[in-house]
Amino acid sequence: MSGEKFSIVRFNGKNYTSWEFQFRMYVKGKELWGHVDGSSTALADPKELSSWEGRDAKIASWLLSSVEPHMVNNLRGFTTVKQMWDCEFIIKIILPESFNWK
């Protein structure tokens, strides 16, 4: 990814549909969506685990840099990008704000 610019709309709490689509397409384009949807899981072999964790951290950094700064702290307690993606924060805070479900 050297020299490549990561550029998708930044999630601000009101643009979930376009943000989610762009983020999903970006990660799928990198052939790493399995980390987000859970179909790629951590492996027992230490060498493979290290590589898996590195890819997962890369995707997590993409996710964290694609949301507004005030949202990042809500994601700090998670150890995988799948956990971040599925977290209560997204389900209970982001979605209601995006679709005015309050």
pLDDT in tens, 50-101: 999 999 999 999 999 998 888 888 888 899 999 999 886 566 566 666 555 4
pTM (whole model) above 0.85: no
Cα distance between residue 57 and residue 63, in whole Å: 10
β-bridge partners, 11: 67
What pLDDT was estimated at residue 32? 97
Which pLDDT score is estimated for 91?
60
Beta strands in 5-84 (DSSP E): none
Instruction: Quote the pLDDT of residue 1.
Output: 44
Classified as helix, coil or strand, 67 is strand
User: Nearest Cα to 32, choosing from 58, 1, 65, 61?
Assistant: 58
Exposed, middle or buried by CB within 10 Å (0-12, 13-18, 19+), for 40? Answer: middle
- Indicate the DSSP class of residue 9: P
Name every residue whose Cβ is closer than 8 Å to that of residue 73 and which is 6 or more positions away in sequence.
none
- Span 10-56, pLDDT tens digits: 988 788 889 889 999 999 999 999 999 999 988 888 889 999 999 99
The confidence score (pLDDT) of residue 17 equals: 85
